[in-house]
């Protein structure tokens, strides 16, 4: 239901608005966990000394400034990559850097 609304606007702006919203609803983290988290030992993944509760992770770049980590964690990811820590802010890649691919006909 939400996807068509998200696809109406500019991808970069929609991404920023989504992160802003997620950063403001940290109090819903517990509700999100109950809705989206799956606890099943069969999903556990071990990589070297690290143990992840499941193999589904969020790649770096979605929340590069770590403004919505608590809320995003409630969606049940096995791991979340936030981004690099640098002494000075970095500009990132030039825009446009987000694209939408139209649905392909089969």
Q: So what's the pLDDT on residue 104?
A: 59
Sorted by where each begins, the domain ranges of the chain are 3-80
Enter the pTM of the model: 0.75
**Predicted pLDDT at 46:** 97
* Distance in angstroms (rounded) separating the CA atoms of residues 47 and 43: 13
Q: Where are the alpha helices (DSSP H) in the chain?
A: 3-6, 11-24, 29-36, 69-73
Q: Can you give the pLDDT at residue 58?
A: 93
C-beta of residue 82 within 8 angstroms of C-beta of residue 63:
yes
How many whole angstroms from its chain centre is CA 73? 8
SS3 for 92? coil
Token pair of 30, please? 């517990």
| Successive 10-residue mean pLDDT values, the chain, 106 residues | 85 93 86 88 96 93 88 92 83 84 65
């Amino acid at each position: 239901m939400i996807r068509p609304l998200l696809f109406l606007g500019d991808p970069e702006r929609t991404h920023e608005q989504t992160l802003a919203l997620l950063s403001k609803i940290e109090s819903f983290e517990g509700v999100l966990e109950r809705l989206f988290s799956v606890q099943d030992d069969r999903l556990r993944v071990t990589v070297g000394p690290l143990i992840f509760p499941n193999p589904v992770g969020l790649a770096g770049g979605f929340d590069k400034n770590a403004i919505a980590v608590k809320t995003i964690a409630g969606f049940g990811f096995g791991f979340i990559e936030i981004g690099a820590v640098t002494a000075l802010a970095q500009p990132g890649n030039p825009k446009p850097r987000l694209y939408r691919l139209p649905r392909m006909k089969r």
